[in-house]
Amino acid sequence: MILLYAVFLVTPLAAQSTPVGQYHESTSGLEKLTKDMIKAQKENNGTLAEELLASLVLLDYQNWYLENFDEGAVDLALPQSQAPASVKAAPSNQP
C-alpha cells in the first residue's frame, strides 16, 4: 500500500540524488524503479528498498509544486494551511 502511494509522489529523479542506480525521467524509469523496489522487498533487502522508496519523497514539496505547476494547480494540490505564503488566497475585502 505504501509503495502504491509513493509512486504518486514521484518527482523528476534528475532533481534528486538516486541512492542506487540511475532511473530515466520517464514512465519506463519509474517502472524500473518500482520493479527494483519490489525485487528488493522479495529478496528481504530492506535497506535497498528503503533507499529506493526514499528517493521518491519530495523533501521540499511546497516549492516543488510552485516550480512545476501554476498557482491554480498548487491551490488544488496543497491545502491552504500548507501552501506557501506566496500562493495563499488573499483575504477578502468584503465586510
Q: How many CB atoms neighbour CB 49 within 10 A?
A: 19
45-52 long-range Cβ contacts below 8 angstroms, 24+ apart: 48/20, 51/19, 51/20, 52/19, 52/20
DSSP 90: P
- Longest C-alpha distance within the chain, in Å? 63
Residues 20-76 have pLDDT tens digits of: 568 888 899 999 999 999 999 999 999 999 999 998 888 888 888 889 888 888 888
The crossing angle, in degrees rounded to 10, of helices 46-54 and 27-42 is: 150
Amino acid in position 91: P
Does this model's pTM top 0.75?
no
Give residue 57's pLDDT: 87
